[in-house]
Amino acid sequence: MGMFSWKCKGCGHELIERESVRLNGQVQEYDGYGGSAANNGDYDPSAWHNRCYKKASRPHQLEESASSHAPNQGFGPSKLEFLSGYDETVSVDEFTVVVNGYYSSDNGDSRQFDYHLTNNGKLEDQREYYQRYEAAAEVHEFDYDAWKEMSDAEKEAQHQQRKVELETALGSAMPQTNAKAFASLQEAIDAVDAVLPELPAELNGEYDLTIYGKQGKIEGAVYQRSVSRKYDRTGEKWVKLDVLEVEESYRLGLDKAGLVEEQLDLVIARFNEAQQALNDASEALGRAVQPFVNTDDTDKLHELADRLPKAWSGVRRIYEKLIGLENANSNGASDET
């Protein structure tokens, strides 16, 4: 499609549509297509999640190199913690599960699937259900002329009534709206792991698993896992092997530790550099003073009086920088705990 996306310079995850991001200093909602309303078309931006930027150390914020390219174009499940309005001090209310991907039929056709873990205790395909829903809608008559004359409130009421009628005819509610809400992330993980073996054999065990969490009115991904088959190249062809690769690519809360660790590594490096510079300056000051220690020569003492303030000023600047980095180090360690 000719477009691209970026990885956050803080957490390393790719930027996803709807997330609050910072591109070259401009804070906007990401459009999932390489930019935002305030920044579109810059091929080498300094790209952050806005939340990661706020948590980063000052030296890390000031490092202005371009972000790495992301493997896709920024589309997919937005992460809850990077959405505008997320508050890490507030608990996540409920968790729902979606398993999606593609599978191929024997004749080579492929089809996308979106399984939701429902209140029926099963993984039910939203796409397959919607096809049956549309077919049922064609069978059950609908007076469109009368609907056009209704008010907006009457239209909505009619829509909800028809939805109930069609779901009753199909024997179940839409999987998406009938998704089971779990009280904790671990409960959701355990529940979906128990039913994953029931997925159709056509999937060949491959899928992307996303668990969404809600905090007030916002909802986003809090857990992601992908399962795919390994490939091997034989001659000019890629051959799919029977070996599954399982990767837990994201879990809310774990990435904070990685971000803090990266910040601490950066601060410690700067701290060590400043420490060495202070040592070097102190030794240089000592060497400059040594010739004047045991002298009564007035001219040499005046020369020392002229040189000391300048030398001490340099040492003082390095010392103040060192103290600032030490404070940043301490704050980073406090955030980690």
Q: What is the chain's pLDDT, residue by residue, as a tens digit (337 residues)? A: 345 788 899 988 899 999 999 988 889 899 877 665 455 555 678 889 999 999 888 888 887 788 888 877 788 899 999 999 999 889 898 999 999 887 766 566 677 889 999 999 999 999 889 888 888 888 777 777 887 788 888 888 888 888 888 888 888 889 999 999 999 999 999 999 999 988 887 776 788 999 999 999 999 999 999 988 766 666 666 666 666 778 888 888 754 434 444 555 556 666 677 677 777 777 776 776 676 666 666 666 666 666 666 666 666 666 565 555 555 555 544 444 3
For residue 15, the number of C-alpha atoms closer than 13 Å in the C-beta half-sphere is 36
Structure tokens at 180: 């089971």
**How distant, in Å, are the alpha carbons of 23, 73, 109, 166, 270 from that of 53?**
11, 21, 44, 48, 19
Question: Is the pTM of the predicted complex or chain greater than 0.95?
Answer: no
Q: Residues near 112 by Cβ (< 8 Å), separated by ≥ 6?
A: 100, 101, 102, 127
Helical (H) or strand (E) element with 153: helix 152-170
Q: Is the dihedral of CA 123, 126, 132, 137 positive or negative?
A: positive
3-state DSSP assignment of residue 221 = strand
